[in-house]
């Protein structure tokens, strides 16, 4: 089958070769995934994005080669041809063949492009693509996400949301992220919060409809002390996430902060929003405004005016800042493992020894697992040989549980862990609520943002066993009792001052 003379040149041959091989690779990979059910984010990336891009490149090279060949021929015949025109003569079999091939090729190409574009869209929107394509970089977030309450919610539902405008924004942002990964320009750990994240009212509130919050929530926590017997300490709380009666709406309770008639603005002087020295309350109905400043460390007027200290309106993400990527602290994930029966309380000092090895800095996960395993084996073989020998399976099961939990929550290669990412729900390892409810945020007329624990929760039960368990009467609250006698120090200092350096 003859084609126009201009086609017969080296550059067009190369374009044909690239396009042809790309098409064969696409067909081959498609057959592999379709008939053998083999698939991953990497195959999808090549099948629907990278190789089709090479196919398009090859198809572009072909006419470019024809253009230069035609130009070269024209220059050779200069003087004979006065004016060059694009002439398509269907009576000329060469032209007829070219039109036929071009038309058929265009139809097939548009069909394949439609399928490829559709699949490429779904590949780039998939959880596997987000979590595994850049394996080392995204491993911490992907692992934490898989163990979160939102594990069945796709990444894009929160990070992108609905609509073409945010889709385009996310892909443009992704270009820089690809560049950062290829040239290893990304920081360790990846900084948060994500300032370009879509507002929570456009994502979170699609499912978490504010008007349908329940009035109260019962929370049961079980902890274990770092003593020889791994003493159990229980605390049951009634969380006031809403009002005492749901009919009262957002007039009281924790979610009062998102009352539609109230606007709360703040200024933070830290990139991760872990410190809030300036808060402004605005009543939208009466237009009453109250400004609260931290009297212990107030912002200077100049600092408030600086461009990098921008006023932010409070929304869901200011408290629920780790909704899907939670890194538990060692004391928390060890407590969970003991409660689940993965670590036996019969092993003396297992909580204390776990804390000792888990709070060390390690260079990689693999080295951490080796050292943790070695140190725990060494300790119990020397200090408690009878238990280590007689209950070997019990000890080894505990070590496996500890290392498994470590792998879910600590990622030394990316410097990612609970210590790097503050979680503002609560106030134990990070100040969270106490960023504003410090007792030090005061207005010019003497009003104070209260630090009273009973604003958010009441303690229904606390203690270590049935005999020492305190139980509150109906509609009353117990006064918090610290598991260890610290002489009321918890009333004067924030929990994080001790709990971040507890072990």
How many Å apart are CA 402 and CA 379, to the nearest integer? 15
- What separation in angstroms does the CA of 133 have from each of 42, 315, 405? 7, 31, 24
Distance CA 50, CA 58 (A): 13
| Residues 223, 464: Cα–Cα separation, whole Å | 9
Percentage of the chain surpassing pLDDT 70? Answer: 91
pLDDT of residue 503: 47
In this predicted structure, what is the pLDDT of residue 156? 85
- Phi, psi at residue 393, to the nearest 5°? -65, -35
The answer on pLDDT for 114 being more than 70 is no
How many other C-beta atoms lie within 10 A of the C-beta of residue 434? 20
pLDDT at 213: 65
Confidence of residue 78 (pLDDT cuts 50, 70, 90): low
Predicted local confidence at residue 307, as pLDDT: 60
Residues contacting 187, CB < 8 A, separation 6+: none
- Enclosing H/E stretch for 222: strand 217-224
Q: Is the pLDDT of residue 82 over 60?
A: no
pLDDT in tens, 45-73: 666 677 888 888 888 898 898 888 888 88
Residue 284: predicted pLDDT = 94
- A 10 A CB-CB count for 283 gives 13
Q: Is 264 helix (H, G, I), strand (E, B) or coil?
A: strand
pLDDT exceeds 50 at position 385: yes
Tokens representing 296?
């212990």
Strands 262-267 and 312-313 turn out to be antiparallel
Beta bridge partners of 293: 278, 442
Residue 111: both structure tokens together: 């069909």
347 neighbors 395 (Cβ within 8 angstroms): yes
In angstroms, rounded to a whole number, what is the distance separating the alpha carbons of residues 296 and 492? 14
DSSP string over 365-380: HHHHHHHHHHHHHHHH
Q: Considering only residues 150 and 302, tell me which one the structure prediction assigns the higher pLDDT.
A: 150
- Binning pLDDT at 50, 70 and 90, where does residue 234 land? very high
Helix, strand, coil % over all residues of the chain, rounded to 5: 50, 10, 40
Per-residue pLDDT, 263: 94
Any residues with CB less than 8 A from the CB of 129 and at least 6 apart, and which? 41, 44, 45, 123
Instruction: Tell me which residue of 428, 433, 424, 421 sits closest to 145, measured CA to CA.
Output: 421
Tokens encoding 369: 């697992």
Q: Which of 109-113, 184-188, 204-208, 437-441 has the lowest mean pLDDT?
A: 109-113
Range of 19-28, 34-43, 437-446 with top mean pLDDT: 437-446
Q: Alpha carbon 157 to chain centroid distance?
A: 12
Q: Which of 118-132, 171-185, 264-278, 344-358 has the lowest mean pLDDT?
A: 118-132
Q: Pull the structure tokens for residue 259.
A: 């009352």
Instruction: Answer yes or no: is pLDDT of 86 > 50.
Output: yes
**pLDDT tens digit string along 433-479?**
999 999 999 999 999 999 998 889 999 999 998 778 999 998 889 99
What 160-165 contacts at long range (C-beta under 8 Å, 24+ apart), as own/partner pairs, is: 160/125, 160/198, 161/198, 161/202, 161/203, 161/206, 162/202, 162/206
User: Among the ranges 106-115, 441-450, 477-486, 492-501, which has the highest mean pLDDT value?
Assistant: 441-450
Contact 461, 471 (CB under 8 A): yes
Name 114's Cβ contacts closer than 8 Å, sequence gap at least 6.
none
Q: 40 is written with which tokens?
A: 């991953």
- The span from the CA of 495 to the CA of 214, in Å, is 28
- Residue 223, helix vs strand vs coil: strand
Q: What is the pLDDT of residue 173?
A: 78
Cα 167 versus chain centre, distance: 18
Separation CA 36–CA 446 (nearest Å):
72
Confidence band of 308 (pLDDT split at 50, 70, 90): low
DSSP 8-class letter at 416: B
Q: In the chain, how long is the greatest CA-to-CA distance?
A: 111
User: Mean pLDDT of all residues in the chain?
Assistant: 86
* Residue 412 banded pLDDT, cuts 50, 70, 90: very high
On the question of pLDDT at 40 being above 70, the answer is: no
- Which of 486 and 82 is assigned the larger pLDDT? 486
Q: Kind and range of the H or E element at 312?
A: strand 312-313
Given this model, what pLDDT does residue 260 score?
86
């Amino acid at each position: 089958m003859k084609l126009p003379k201009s086609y017969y040149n080296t550059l067009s041959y190369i374009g044909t070769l690239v396009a042809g091989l790309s098409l064969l690779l696409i067909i081959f990979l498609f057959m592999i995934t379709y008939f053998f059910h083999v698939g991953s984010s990497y195959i999808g990336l090549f099948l629907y994005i990278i190789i089709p891009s090479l196919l398009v490149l090859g198809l572009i090279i072909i006419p470019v080669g024809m253009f230069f060949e035609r130009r070269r021929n024209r220059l050779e015949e200069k003087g004979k041809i006065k004016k060059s025109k694009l002439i398509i003569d269907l009576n000329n079999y060469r032209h007829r063949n070219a039109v036929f091939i071009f038309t058929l090729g265009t139809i097939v190409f548009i069909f394949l492009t439609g399928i490829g574009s559709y699949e490429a869209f779904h590949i780039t929107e998939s959880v596997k693509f987000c979590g595994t394509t850049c394996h080392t970089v995204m491993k911490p977030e992907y692992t934490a996400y898989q163990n979160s309450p939102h594990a069945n919610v796709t990444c894009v539902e929160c990070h992108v949301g609905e609509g073409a405008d945010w889709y385009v924004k996310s892909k443009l942002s992704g270009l820089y992220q690809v560049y950062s990964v290829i040239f290893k320009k990304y920081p360790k750990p990846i900084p948060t919060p994500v300032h370009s994240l879509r507002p929570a009212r456009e994502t979170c509130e699609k499912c978490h409809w504010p008007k349908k919050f329940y009035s109260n929530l019962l929370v049961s926590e079980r902890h274990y002390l770092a003593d020889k017997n791994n003493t159990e300490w229980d605390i049951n709380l009634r969380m006031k996430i809403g009002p005492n009666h749901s009919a009262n709406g957002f007039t009281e309770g924790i979610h009062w902060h998102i009352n539609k008639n109230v606007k709360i603005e703040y200024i933070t002087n830290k990139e991760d929003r872990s410190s809030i020295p300036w808060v402004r309350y605005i009543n939208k109905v009466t237009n009453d405004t109250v400004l609260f400043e931290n009297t212990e460390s107030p912002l200077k007027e100049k600092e408030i005016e600086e461009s990098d200290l921008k006023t932010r309106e409070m929304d869901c993400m200011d408290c629920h800042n780790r909704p899907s990527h939670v890194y538990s602290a060692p004391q928390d994930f060890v407590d969970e493992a003991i409660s689940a029966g993965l670590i036996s309380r019969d092993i003396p000092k297992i909580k204390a020894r776990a804390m000792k090895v888990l709070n060390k800095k390690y260079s990689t996960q693999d080295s951490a697992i080796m050292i943790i395993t070695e140190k725990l084996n060494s300790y119990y073989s020397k200090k408690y040989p009878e238990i280590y020998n007689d209950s070997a399976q019990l000890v080894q099961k505990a070590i496996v549980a500890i290392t498994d939990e470590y792998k879910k929550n600590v990622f030394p290669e990316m410097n990612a862990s609970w210590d790097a990412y503050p979680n503002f729900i609560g106030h134990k390892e990070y100040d969270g609520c106490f960023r504003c409810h410090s007792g030090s945020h005061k207005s010019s007329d003497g009003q104070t943002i209260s630090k009273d624990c009973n604003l958010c929760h009441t303690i229904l039960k606390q203690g270590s066993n049935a005999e020492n368990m305190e139980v509150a009467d109906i509609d009353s609250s117990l006064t918090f009792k610290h598991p260890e006698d610290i002489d009321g120090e918890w009333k004067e200092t924030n929990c994080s001052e001790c709990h971040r350096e507890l072990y």
